């Protein structure tokens, strides 16, 4: 009688972790970062129907990389949990931490169970607060681990490289336009230094806007996104707030 096939639990967990990490690394990167009036989400995504960034509840949003069908199942479950909690108790009882904890339990159970393969996903759950200090960003990995992030998060294929660039260039309290420029710059810079070009049609951009009264989630598409990418909004604001020139003073031509 042949001996039964045996794999140590440590080796099994390593194999499952390697499998999940390889699947996530094949996905295009996402960047989540704070700016002066909220939290910005930028993903490289040419699809207009299959979103990697979505609203979960009033002031909570979801971003993911990996297998679409797997993180879409998680997103739908999060929306249902948020709706049920808000309806049963109060809308203020729905928090990003509640959603993140539910995702952590689900991912952890799937990763440790022998009945199915681990999910090839990495998720961010973010909630915008009344001020910058009240913002929360939770990062969840394939095994259910949760980390409380600050300032920015990068996920997906080039996450390590992009995180290094963000550490060098991120400045707290920047405007939406400057935050978007930074996110696009780090997404387009390859590890070898080569720069790519990403157009508005290749990007998915959304934000949790602190100043919006109830539903903070806002998606930027079409001409609005093109305007933000061009930086014309910031330029127009600067021109608008400049004091009128004194007609008696002749310009020096500089």
| Contact of 94 with 134, CB cutoff 8 Å | no
If pLDDT is split at 50, 70 and 90, which confidence band does 52 have? very high
Count of C-beta atoms within a 10 Å radius of residue 249:
7
- Closest residue by Cα to residue 172 from 4, 20, 16, 35: 35
DSSP assignment string, 181-230: HHHHHHHHB-TTSPBP---GGGEEEEEEETTSSS--EEEE-HHHHHHHHH
The percentage of residues in the chain with a pLDDT greater than 70, rounded to a whole number, is 89
Domain ranges across the chain? 18-241
Provide the pLDDT for residue 236.
Answer: 37
DSSP 50: S
| Contact of 99 with 56, CB cutoff 8 Å | yes
H helices of 26-158, in order, are: 68-88, 96-112
Q: Measured between alpha carbons, how far is 212 from 199 in angstroms, rounded to an integer?
A: 27
Q: Measured between alpha carbons, how far is 34 from 179 in angstroms, rounded to an integer?
A: 8
Provide the pLDDT for residue 145.
Answer: 95
> Domain 18-241 falls in which CATH fold?
3.60.20
Q: Give the residue, 248 or 37, on which the prediction is more confident.
A: 37
Does residue 94 register a pLDDT over 80? Answer: yes
If pLDDT is split at 50, 70 and 90, which confidence band does 7 have? confident
Q: Mind listing the pLDDT tens digit for each residue in 213-231? A: 889 999 999 999 999 998 8
Lowest mean pLDDT among 34-38, 148-152, 236-240: 236-240
Q: Which two tokens stand for residue 91?
A: 């809308």
Q: Which two tokens stand for residue 73?
A: 């199942």
3-state DSSP assignment of residue 235 = helix
Identify each DSSP E strand in 22-76 by its residue range. 30-35, 38-44, 53-57, 60-66
Provide the pLDDT for residue 191.
Answer: 80
């Amino acid at each position: 009688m042949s001996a039964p096939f045996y794999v140590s639990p440590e080796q099994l967990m390593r194999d499952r972790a390697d499998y999940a990490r390889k699947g996530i690394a094949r996905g295009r990167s996402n960047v989540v970062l704070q700016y002066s009036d909220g939290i910005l989400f930028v993903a490289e995504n040419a699809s207009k129907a299959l979103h990697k960034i979505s609203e979960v509840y009033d002031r909570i949003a979801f971003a993911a990389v990996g297998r679409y069908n797997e993180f879409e199942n998680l997103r739908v479950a999060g929306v249902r949990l948020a709706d049920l909690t808000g309806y049963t108790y109060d809308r203020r009882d729905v928090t990003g931490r509640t959603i993140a904890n539910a995702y952590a339990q689900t991912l952890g159970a799937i990763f440790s169970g022998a009945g199915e393969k681990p999910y090839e996903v990495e998720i961010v759950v973010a909630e915008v607060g009344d001020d910058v200090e009240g913002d929360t960003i939770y990062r969840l990995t394939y095994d259910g681990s949760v980390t409380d992030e600050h300032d920015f998060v990068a996920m997906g294929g080039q996450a390590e490289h992009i995180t290094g660039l963000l550490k060098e260039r991120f400045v707290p309290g920047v405007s939406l336009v400057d935050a978007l420029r930074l996110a696009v710059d780090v997404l387009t810079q390859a590890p070898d230094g080569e720069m790519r070009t990403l157009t508005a049609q290749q990007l998915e951009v959304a934000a949790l806007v602190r100043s919006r009264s109830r539903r903070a989630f806002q998606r930027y598409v079409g001409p609005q996104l093109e305007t933000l990418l061009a930086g014309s909004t910031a330029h127009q604001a600067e021109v608008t707030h400049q004091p009128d020139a004194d007609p008696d003073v002749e310009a020096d031509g500089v």
